[in-house]
A and B are shown apart, each in its own frame.
Chain A
């Protein structure tokens, strides 16, 4: 009988652990909804900090709505994902188009989150494709679980309002349907 009690205890602990991990799991970001409470490490690179408008003395972590922008485009990617590799030049082109357009520069910002990638792996991807916007590592899939374990690449557009609130305006799996078309869609959906 003692053995049964010990076994019950072990089972309860395992079930509780699984239930806890399930409670952290989210569903894919829905248009009109809000982002889960994603915490990203403050970039070490000064250029990245400046780009995101986080202040050069910022440290610790930050949330996406803290980024100084009207719209944030989030690319969920992996260094190990062939489509993400193929898509990298297009996302770079998107970044350049935004930065070269005086009406959009500073208003639309892009970040990438490498799911299951270490900082080293994210850095390798950044170097390989000369990515100019900030990339963040999600080595233990913590963020990935929060956003419903989406496949990659996955793009999320978030509109940041002056009152501090935000809404998801775009949420889609797969490659961009064309850089110009995607940018036009984001501008239309955000009202920019």
Chain B
């Protein structure tokens, strides 16, 4: 009887706890542009992968298809541009929908640091097409790491156990060396100033 009472108490308390957590607001993807089309993922485990690359080491090369139809390879930029790779977990989710539109208005800042931005998710091209269309005309390539599923994310060690990627930023210099890695809490948007500070260091 004692064990039974304990179990009942545990269940009641867990219920109360879950009810309380469900009220915690997630204030992302607020733009009216998305209307009610954003899927609320709730609060996720902040990080769920193990990095396979290091600052100071060469960035693994990859070739991925972009939403515009072209294939983009990392090595194309070797000797020409610094590269910022922005992995976001998935299309049509709260924080991700709020990240690239910000980068979209600061092309001049990327130009200032002679950098290109590559946006990557594990979604397929049609999904990325519909989703990024809501953001306006993006000046940077959006790449699909859909098949083999999350292949590039896996190579970099940012593929999560549920098949999405981390919210991660990599800064790669013109020599192809990784200069900065931010595997961010998936539930939060990285602050712009942190990225800009890293780009400043490349000058």
Contacts and interface: CB of A to CB of B under 8 A. Distances in A.
A113 to B, nearest CB: 12
Contact of B191 (A11, A120, A125): A120
A18 B106 contact: no
Nearest to A144: B27
A154 to B, nearest CB: 8
A25 B25 contact: yes
B32 A79 contact: no
B30 A115 contact: yes
B44 interface: no
Contacts of A7: 10, 13
Interface string B130-165: 000011100000000000000000000000000000
B191 A82 contact: no
B189 A151 contact: no
Contacts of A120: 191-193, 196
Interface in B21-36: 21, 23-25, 27-28, 30-33
Interface in A41-93: 78-86
Contacts of A151: 30-32
B20 interface: yes
Interface string A141-158: 100110001111100000
A8 to B, nearest CB: 7
Contact of A83 (B25, B31, B98, B104): B31
How many B residues are at the interface, by size bracket? Answer: 20 to 34
Given A81-B101, A118-B191, A124-B192, A152 B17 contact: no
B99 interface: yes
Contacts of A149: 25, 27, 30
A-side interface mostly: helix
A79 B102 contact: yes
Given A118-B191, A125-B105, A128-B105, A82 B28 contact: no
A82 B136 contact: yes
A82 B20 contact: no
Nearest to A138: B27
A153 B32 contact: yes
B43 interface: no
A121 interface: yes
A86 B24 contact: no
15 contacts: A21-B24, A78-B98, A79-B105, A80-B31, A80-B99, A81-B32, A81-B101, A82-B136, A83-B33, A85-B136, A120-B196, A141-B27, A149-B30, A150-B30, A174-B32
Given A82-B31, A144-B27, A152-B31, 16 more contacts: A11-B16, A14-B17, A18-B24, A22-B23, A79-B102, A82-B33, A82-B134, A83-B31, A83-B32, A85-B104, A118-B192, A120-B193, A121-B102, A124-B105, A124-B109, A128-B106
